Structure 1
Amino acid sequence: MTWVPDAEQSALPPNAGSRRGRKPAPIVESAGLSHRAWLEPVRGFLFASGLTLNDLVDRSGYSKTRISELLRGNGYYPAWEITFSVIRALGLPVPPMRRLWTAAAREAQKEPDWIRDCIRQVALEPEPPPLAHQAFAETVTRAYTAYARAFLLTEHRARWVVTETFDILWLCWSDAATSENIRRYAWQLLRSRVMARAHRDAEERPDLRAAVFSTSEACADAPGPLTALSELVDLFAAIGRLPDDQMDVAVLRHLCGLPLEESADVLGLSTAMAHAVDHHARATLDTLLTAHRSRE
């Protein structure tokens, strides 16, 4: 499954067989990014499970109106009790959902006391993530965080998005683990969460120019620092205009300092493919920078 945020079938497991469940009505536009982070997987699993809305009503004990509102993100942000009943009916793991639900509650400007009271109403048993999930997360956390930091600029925001990614990945772990390329699956998920929050330029492309000031080159006491800084700004702006894979390789290699082989592993690409993408990225950057200079 390729994770595409805000797409109605973005969370559908790829191996879903017969589907008798009716697709829920679309998520309301007012639902925030953190709200969608857990709502999209829940909707996807409901649709893929073959359960109808009536089935979910019977299993959860809540009315059709309340379940329908929850699935659309409509009305008030749902309490943890009804959210818990829905995810339990679908067989989804609780700990990652509770963290995602809590983050979205804060996004919805719910009071801390309300959040704590909601959570206290439902006693939980310890539920560690799958060992394979833990092992995978450990191998990619450093690279994921560096990539997120290049776009989101602060360590706190980068770590928060990476944690969100791993929680969603836990929800979808059974599908991720059986996908053709788990690293590619997870990377597309991480990328979607970063891009949903990345600053955009006037043409709605990812804007990396602010990341210049976190690089060692920008801080170096070299001759002509203003000229060097201007060139870096142009370079970073051009990287943000690259096609997706080319941009990702360029960011991991040249902003995050990962060797090409490690970048390929993180991205879920073969080394040969990563070399080809890197070659095309360099050629595209030369073209973009030459065109930019000719306009000056």
Structure 2
Amino acid sequence: MMQSSGPAQPPPLPQAVRRGRPPAPISPDAGPSHRAWLEPVRSVLFASGLTLDDLVERSGYSKTRISELLRGNGNYPLWEITFSVTRALGLPTQPLRRLWTAAAREAHKDSDWIHRSIEQVAHAGEKPPLPYQAFTEAVQGTYTDYARAFLLTDRRARWVVCETFDILWICWDEAAASANINRYAWSLFRSRVMIRAARRADGHPDLRAAVFSTRAVHDHTSNPGHLVALTELIDLFDAINRLPDDQMDLAVLQYLCGTPVADSAHLLGITPALAHAADHHARVTVEALLNTPTTE
């Protein structure tokens, strides 16, 4: 049986000739919001060919402090040093400041600490590139619908979409130069959703709770067969979240978000032919899963 390919990972940045060792790996203590800005900053640094000594010279901070920042070690960094390092790399201020703020809250910094830190830097930030604005406006609605299926609330869904768009702005030059910008952006967005999605015991994302937000449930709560229909929907969603990535994404977009297959193909950055083939295999796989007893 033909399987659709999993989501393509964003292509690696071109590797420049290094003049020194790269920073050590990111600390396991760094949370998902901290990594949201730290990972793209490190990627840009690796591609730039700059060393820690170069950053010391450009930012005015010591090698020890910059090394701690790039590893996510020690105390959460002040915005002043974060801004100095990222400015030395030519990165945009606005999205980084928002991501830095979210990670500061994740690190249990209070609003006064965050405000005082930001006030030390007199830089309003740049306007986003027009092509970036056009792209994000075009996909925002469907991205939010997809995120809501896994994260369940509008607030959480909008949050992860905004986080994705901020990371995409930081990486916009790389994204725009990629062979498939829709695929690049979708892979980035999907990774941010899956970091926060509930998981089944087998590690697959868990869609079962999304059943309770579907129209089929809300429209038929007084129907005597409501509980039977609810059980069938739970089984269906449980089967969908065990599909290969592209097949699951197409099923979620089509059946939970109401997005036609052709539009979903464009959003995922795959050809319509591949999307229709993946949709067909998804239907076959779901039917087989629904007819196979599970031990869970």
TM-score range, shorter chain: over 0.9
| Cα shift readout 1:50-85 (whole Å, capped 9, x = no counterpart) | 111111111111111111100110010000000000
| Cα shift readout 1:243-268 (whole Å, capped 9, x = no counterpart) | 11011000000111111111111111
Question: What is the TM-score with the length of structure 2 in the denominator?
Answer: 0.93
Unmatched tracts of structure 2, length 5 or more? 1-6
1:74-93 paired onto structure 2 within 5 Å: 74-93=73-92
| Matched letter for residue 59 of structure 1 | R
| Inter-CA distance 11–31: structure 2 relative to 1 (3 Å threshold) | farther
| Inter-CA distance 21–137: structure 2 relative to 1 (3 Å threshold) | farther
| Residue 261 (structure 1) aligns with | 262
| Residue 58 (structure 1) aligns with | 57
Given that 1:21 and 1:47 are in contact with CA atoms closer than 8 Å, whether structure 2 keeps it comes out as no
> Mean Cα displacement is larger for which, 53-62 or 163-172?
53-62
**2:21 maps to 1:32:** no
SS at match of 1:195: helix
Question: What is the TM-score with the length of structure 1 in the denominator?
Answer: 0.93
Given that 1:201 and 1:207 are in contact with CA atoms closer than 8 Å, whether structure 2 keeps it comes out as yes
Q: Identity across aligned pairs (percent)?
A: 66
SS at match of 1:207: coil
| Cα shift readout 1:96-116 (whole Å, capped 9, x = no counterpart) | 000000000011110100100
1:118-137 paired onto structure 2 within 5 Å: 118-137=117-136
Given that 1:198 and 1:206 are in contact with CA atoms closer than 8 Å, whether structure 2 keeps it comes out as yes
**Distance in 1 between the 2:162 and 2:287 partners?**
35
User: RMSD of aligned C-alpha atoms?
Assistant: 1.7
1:38-49 paired onto structure 2 within 5 Å: 38-49=37-48
Given that 1:187 and 1:267 are in contact with CA atoms closer than 8 Å, whether structure 2 keeps it comes out as yes
> Mean Cα displacement is larger for which, 217-226 or 157-166?
217-226
**Distance in 2 between the 1:275 and 1:50 partners?**
43
| Cα shift readout 1:28-50 (whole Å, capped 9, x = no counterpart) | 11100000000001111111111
**Distance in 1 between the 2:189 and 2:113 partners?**
30
> Structure 1 stretches (4+) deviating beyond 3 angstroms?
15-21
Unmatched tracts of structure 1, length 5 or more? 5-9
Task: Tell me by how many angstroms 1:21 deviates.
Answer: 4.6
| Residue 7 (structure 1) aligns with | none
Task: Tell me by how many angstroms 1:16 deviates.
Answer: 3.7
Given that 1:151 and 1:194 are in contact with CA atoms closer than 8 Å, whether structure 2 keeps it comes out as yes
| Matched letter for residue 233 of structure 1 | I
Count of residues in correspondence between the two structures:
288
| Residue 226 (structure 2) aligns with | 225
| Residue 286 (structure 1) aligns with | 287
| Inter-CA distance 174–150: structure 2 relative to 1 (3 Å threshold) | same
